[in-house]
Amino acid sequence: MIQTTFPDRGVMAELMAKMLWEIGAVHFSADKPYKLSSGMMSPVYIDCRKLISYPRIRSAIMDFAAATVLRDAGFEKFDCIAGGETAGIPFAAFLSERLGLPMIYVRKKPKGHGRNAQIEGHMPEGARVLVIEDLTTVGGGMFTFIDAIRAAGGVVDHGMALFFYDMYPEVWERFARGKVQFHHIATWRNVLAAAREQKLFDENTLSEVESFLDAPLAWSGRNGGVSEIAL
């Protein structure tokens, strides 16, 4: 199905944030922070994989994703859509259907031997590939898949995350060094704005979350987590 409208970027971000709250995909817990795999303590947590269980919401978000890449990258810029194992796979399937393009998926580690040891599906030499993930924090996971596609003969100039943490300026430097244009729909700032608008939490919780977004490593350090991570 190739039928795309082009809503305002702010409207798409606001609506996605509200959708995430509606399905319980995001959580704020300033008094009992979450410990992330990096060792950071965080008052926020998100599970974008829940989106796959809500057809109306995921359809709207795929409209937003299609509008974003078509407007920002172009209409004839891609030969296939790639999802990363595992969370990116369903969204690659949804977006490839929306754009009328073939799909592949990329394993985290090679399986077997040969040029396409990490690639599942058909990717011709020189294929222009859009990599999509459910979310991106610092970009490391996405580049695992980008590097594998490039090593297998694909061309990756664009990457997309439905949700972007957008807390570390160094992330943009990483994408620039990797020669990848990065696209996203919503961020934690949008989620916080939706929580404030809907009065989902007391002001103390909202202020703590904002403090974390302003200086995540400092907030983590004050709350028993690491205060430095390699980006």
Provide the whole-model pTM.
0.94
In the block, tokens 């993930």 appear at 133
Asked if pLDDT for residue 48 goes beyond 80, the answer is: yes
Q: Whole-angstrom Cα distance, residue 64 to residue 124?
A: 28
- Is residue 147 a contact partner of residue 164, using CB atoms and an 8 Å limit? no
**pLDDT at position 3, please?**
66
Q: What are the pLDDT digits (tens) for 50-64?
A: 999 999 999 999 999
- DSSP per residue, 97-151: HHHT--EEEE-SS--SSSTTTTEES---TT-EEEEEEEEESSSHHHHHHHHHHHH
Mean pLDDT within 81-101:
97
Q: Does residue 229 fall inside a structural domain?
A: no
Is residue 3 in some structural domain? no
Measure the CA–CA gap between 160 and 132, rounded to whole angstroms.
5
Where residue 1 falls among pLDDT bands split at 50, 70, 90?
low
- Give CA–CA dist 117/202, Å, rounded: 50
Nearest alpha carbon to residue 158 among 148, 166, 171, 146: 146
Residue 231 located in a structural domain: no
Polymer length in residues for the chain: 231
Overall domain count for the chain: 1
pLDDT of residue 32: 94
pLDDT, tens digit, for every residue of 191-212? 999 999 999 999 999 999 999 9
Distance CA 34, CA 27 (A): 10
Question: Which CATH number is 120's domain given?
Answer: 3.40.50.2020
Within a domain: residue 1? no
Residue with the bigger pLDDT between 170 and 2: it is 170
183 occurs within a structural domain: yes
User: In whole angstroms, what is the distance from residue 2 CA to residue 205 CA?
Assistant: 42
CB 220 within 8 A of CB 41: yes
Whether 25 is covered by a domain: the verdict is: yes
pLDDT at res. 114: 67
Residue 230, pLDDT score: 72
Checking if the pLDDT of 4 tops 80, the result is no
Domain that holds residue 63: 9-222
Residue 115 has pLDDT above 70, yes or no: no
Residues with Cβ within 8 Å of residue 119, at least 6 apart in sequence: 104, 105, 106, 107, 148, 149, 152, 154
Residue 36 DSSP code = P
Residue 134 lies in a domain: yes
Instruction: Supply the pLDDT for residue 36.
Output: 84
How far is 135 from 86, CA to CA, in rounded Å? 12
Using the structure block, give the residue that is written with the tokens 């991570």.
Answer: 229
- Report pLDDT for 2: 67
In a domain, 2, yes or no: no
